[in-house]
Structure 1
Amino acid sequence: VDARGGRHAVSARDGRLLAGTDAAQAEAVARDFSGQPGARWAETIERDQWTVPQGLNPLRPLHRVELNDAAGTELYVSARTGEVVRDTTRSERFWNWLGSVPHWIYFTPLRADPPLWHDVVVWLSAACIVSAVTGIVIGILRIRLRRRFRNGSVTPYTGWMAWHHIAGLVGGFFVLTWIASGWLSMNPNRWFERNPVDAAAMARYTGGEISTFPWPPATLPAGEGAAAPREALLQWFDGRPLLQLRDAQARVRVLDAASGAPASIAREDIVRAAARLRPGATLSEAVLQTAYDFHWYGHHRERVLPVWRLGFDDPARTRLYIDPANGQLAGSSDRNARLRRWLFNAAHSLDFPWLIQYRPAWDLVVWLLSIVGAVASASGVVIGWRRLRPRTRSPTVALARP
């Protein structure tokens, strides 16, 4: 990865830059990756329904390879680097059409234009917020808990209207918080702008611009079977070249690339280097965090533990999280990010520690609230259809005058 985020494939044998990956090579990569001899190249694309995220842009174009297995698996191989960047199965594609695609309005022509997609989601969400608020207000005004209606019911409605009234009141608050928090996640009007570490500060922190990475490294550990290194990451920390090796069982070793010895990074090294990430700010805390908390947790993503948590006294009250094994910046947060944690992750994804730490409590709550929301939504669709569909008038018979 170069300084501009571009991706390049480099030979691990001699360090030379490799050319792109053609269709035949992508097919061979897919066979080796999957162990499926029947893998066949299908097409070369820029993007399709399953490769719309912008994070794949540096790897495009992509080769789509069909494995022809029972699961209907398809692999996407980067034409730039030759790496497998995505896999999908027939079942995943089916359920995504019913779930994530309509949920995020992830239709390819729309998602390919990020500003347009952003505006569509923001304005649709805003309209839904107004609809939910007015529905809750009307629902409260039309319910009777003490002086009930003649039939003994708390609602004056019957049939689908009654289902919509009751389900809307029971789940209306949660539906509203889901819509509103989803709307806020789109950062309307740029209310939740973050203060990320800039490239110059990161260069000062890593020290990678001081000299070239030593290649080949002092030692390249050998191994057999699952213990053999399968992935090597070239990293810099405070001017020191590091080599991170990962084997087939996801075990990680970090070596000093200059000496070949296991890397050792002390607290003082991290504190000294981290000061360059926030020049002008004073370090207020340096804590080795060994357990998840409200702001650093691994419910929907992998989070490294233990991790150094460094707090600064700048106006944004920045916190940096640094991996003690390799000194790499694992994450960051500021006031806006922590506020978004409450307004989106807690309200929208229900990522409360007392829920996510005791599965399946989180699953049960999400299922129950989703069922209530589905009843309110489905009944609303039925009622709306009945109101909007054209009504056929019964023919009138003209009576002859005597």
Structure 2
Amino acid sequence: MIRALILTHRWLSIPLGPLFVLWFATGIVMHFVPFPAQTESERFAGLKPLDPAASLRSPADAVVASGIDRPSRVRLWQRADGPVYVVSAADRSVAVRADTLAAATVEAPDLARSIARATAQQRGLGADGTVAALDDYDQWTVPNRFDAHRPLYRIALNDAEGTELYVSSRTGDVVLDTTGFERRWNYLGSVVHWIYPTVLRKDWAAWDVVVWWLSLAAVIAAATGALLGPVRLRLRRARLTSRYRGWHLWHHWAGLVCTQFLLTWIVSGWLSMDHGRLFATGHLTPSEDAVLTGAPDWTRLTATPLSSVSGEVREIEWFGFGGRLHQRTRRALMQQQISVLDGSAWHIVGRFLQPAEINAVTARLRSDCARSIEVEPGDDYPFVSDVPRAPVHRVVCGDTWYHIDSASGAALEKLDPSRRTYRWLYQALHTLDFPTLLAHATLRTLLIVGLCAAGCAFSITGLVIGWRRLRASGLAPRHNG
């Protein structure tokens, strides 16, 4: 049995040793420079005010023109070439011109450049721009959330920061921005850590299988080492000593000291690739989604959108909640108004959806739903809205919790017992986002850097041992002096 553990640990750890070193080292980088993503604040800052004098068709007309039978949302915004409706469903988005209802896809590179320049000007970035590429995938747009926007135009602003904007060819939205600083550090961080080269990651299914099995092999290598560590100790003169010398000795003692962190970090990293294999995904079922959104009658949105609003408006969005149509009028990131269509008139709800309406709608999910509560900062299961300080409501229905963003009416995530367990086994153990540590950011950073550095140093001892084993076995080249 011991022999089998030794052989398993040895011949898994030798090929996986470099990966262990890289995982720990890149984990430090990722803590300081995360993978590029556009925040809602950045997106909204790039929006121009809608032209109040524009002659627009109704949202109902836009839904018909889009060809989408059951949209989830309709959005109106001022693109560089005029106002555009974006009609969205679960799997796609269609843009139509708000004045003519013609298709509003972005087919000309010059238009993509104009959109990027207008966005950059609104955000106070460089106003120059050149079309760098039109690609389905590049290193920063491989995540699945960009699928509805492919292919994407990459526009270089030619500024000092090396900023590049990505424009959707489907809707014209600017969906991502990156800087040279982010790109350089992410090649040394998340791209390595997640095994994220474009050629592999653009095929999500292949990447998922490859990384899941590699991570599982790493778990087995770490687990066999954890089992062998105590076994390979021996008692001499009432003291525990190691039977190894040299690099083996360092590896043995470091492993004994770091075992708890090493094993939990590797296992939790493997769980990051779970994707529903062992734990729930947190997604709503189609029936639950149908209850929350309902089946709003989009044909009722016959009024021209700017007729019911006043002042400078940057975006108007319509969505269904509990079967009723809602209008979200946005003047600034934190300045918005939600109205509900009651009969033929719009009635103002307030800045956000109210608890009474959320309770009435979620009560249809199950018979045991309690009244909603706001998720407070520092909650064990934190959720935040894209709109700063907008309440997120938690509705507890038996052993299942639903989370509703009051700013948009979106269901953020469903937490059943499986998903709550996953939150601790993956997120807490892998990123140390325990509530106590989140409240003490400096301490959390010191722990992450220190533990990852220790893991990296420990893994290097394994690399040296592995290399020597390969040379002794004649499997590695020898350099003759």
Provide the TM-score with structure 1 as the length reference.
0.83
The answer to whether the 8 Å contact 2:390/2:407 transfers is no
Equivalences for 1:76-225 in 2 at 5 Å?
76-143=166-233, 147=237, 155=242, 157=244, 159-187=246-274, 190-194=277-281, 196-212=283-299, 213-217=301-305, 218-223=307-312
CA deviation after TM superposition for structure 1 residue 333, in Å: 1.3
Q: Which moved more, 1:350-359 or 1:14-23?
A: 14-23
- Which residue of structure 1 lines up, in the alignment, with residue 316 of structure 2? 232
Cα distance, 1:327–1:30 mapped onto 2, change above 3 Å: closer
Cα pair 2:268 2:425 within 8 Å, conserved = yes
Query: Where do 5+ consecutive residues of structure 2 fail to align?
Result: 1-86
Q: 1:208 to 1:184 in 2, by over 3 A?
A: same
> Aligned equivalents of 2:238 and 2:104: distance in 1?
77
Q: Cα 1:364–1:336, aligned 2, differ >3 Å: closer, same or farther?
A: same
Cα distance, 1:104 vs structure 2: 0.9
- How far is 1:177 from its partner? 0.9
Of the two structures, which has the highest relative contact order with CA contacts closer than 8 Å and spacing of 6 or more?
A: 2
Displacement of 1:114 in angstroms is 1.7
Partner of 2:32: none
Once the two structures are superposed, the pairs formed by residues 220-369 of structure 1 within 5 Å of their partners are: 220-223=309-312, 229-256=313-340, 259=345, 261-264=347-350, 265-276=353-364, 278=365, 281-292=366-377, 293-297=379-383, 305-313=390-398, 317-325=399-407, 327-369=409-451
Is the alpha carbon distance of 1:283 and 1:266 closer, same or farther for their aligned partners in structure 2, counting shifts above 3 Å?
Answer: farther
The correspondence of residues 29-40 of structure 1 with structure 2, limited to 5 A, is 29-35=115-121, 36-40=126-130
Cα distance, 1:322 vs structure 2: 2.1
The one-letter amino acid of 2:421's match is L
Separation in 2 of the partners of 1:256 and 1:211? Answer: 13
After the TM superposition, which of the residue ranges 32-41 and 246-255 deviates more from structure 2? Answer: 246-255
Report the CA distance shift for 1:113/1:211 in structure 2 as closer, same or farther (over 3 A): closer
Could you say if the C-alpha distance between residues 49 and 122 of structure 1 is closer, same or farther in structure 2, counting changes exceeding 3 Å? same
- Using the alignment, how far apart are the partners of 1:101 and 1:163 within structure 2? 30
Give how far 1:49 is off.
1.1
Q: Provide the secondary structure at the position in 1 that maps to 2:371.
A: strand
Are residues 323 and 138 of structure 1, via their aligned partners in 2, closer, same or farther at CA, if it must alter by over 3 Å?
closer
Quote the offset at 1:159 in angstroms: 5.0
* 1:76 to partner: Cα distance: 1.0
Following superposition, the deviation at residue 294 of structure 1 comes to 1.1
CA drift at 1:44: 0.7
Larger Rg: 1
Q: Secondary structure at the match of 2:96?
A: coil
Q: Following the alignment from structure 2 to structure 1, what is the Cα–Cα distance between the partners of residues 275 and 415?
A: 19
The one-letter code sitting in structure 2 at the alignment partner of 1:95 is W
Q: Which amino acid aligns with 1:30?
A: A
Structure 1: runs of 5+ lacking an equivalent:
224-228, 396-402
Counterparts of 2:271 and 2:333 in 1: how far apart (Å)? 39
Q: 1:383 to 1:260 in 2, by over 3 A?
A: same
Residues 213-268 of structure 1: per-residue CA shift (max 9 Å, x gap): 34423513322xxxxx3232222223432222334444333234664553255444
The verdict on how the C-alpha distance between 1:195 and 1:176 changes in structure 2, with shifts beyond 3 A counting, is closer
Which deviations, in whole Å up to 9, do the C-alpha atoms of 1:179-223 show, x marking residues without a partner? 111222322782213474334543443344334234423513322
Amino acid at match of 2:335: R
Q: Could you tell me how far 1:158 is from its partner in structure 2?
A: 5.3
Residue 142 of structure 1: how far off its partner (Å): 3.9
User: What's the secondary structure of 2:440's corresponding residue?
Assistant: coil
Percent identity between matched residues is: 37
SS in 2 for 1:72: coil
1:318 shift after superposition: 1.9
| Alpha-carbon spacing, 1:200–1:287, altered in 2? closer, same or farther (3 Å) | closer
| 8 Å Cα contact 1:285/1:309 also seen in 2 | no
Distance 2:392 2:347 in 1: 22
Q: What's the Cα RMSD here?
A: 3.1
Higher helix share: 2
Matched, 1:22 2:108: yes
In the alignment of these two chains, the number of paired residues is: 380
Number of the residue aligned with 2:96: 10
Distance 1:188 1:72, change over 3 A: closer
Identify if the C-alpha distance between structure 1 residues 141 and 29 changes in structure 2 by more than 3 Å, giving closer, same or farther: same
State whether residues 283 and 310 of structure 1, in contact with CA within 8 Å, keep that contact through their aligned partners in structure 2. no
Kindly tell me: are residues 195 and 104 of structure 1, through their superposed partners in 2, closer, same or farther at Cα, counting changes over 3 Å?
Answer: closer
Q: Secondary structure at the match of 1:322?
A: strand
Does the 8 Å contact 2:219/2:263 carry over to 1?
yes
Distance 1:216 1:202 in 2: 28
Alpha carbons of structure 1 residues 125 and 392: separation in structure 2 relative to 1, 3 Å:
closer
Partner of 1:399: none
Aligned-pair distance for 1:287? 3.0
1:288 touches 1:306 (CA, 8 Å); kept in 2?
no
Secondary structure at the counterpart of residue 80 of structure 1: coil
**Cα distance in structure 2, aligned partners of 1:93 and 1:326:** 31
Distance change >3 Å, CA 393–CA 358, structure 1 → 2: closer
More deviation in 257-266 or 20-29?
Answer: 257-266
Alpha carbons of structure 1 residues 340 and 47: separation in structure 2 relative to 1, 3 Å: same
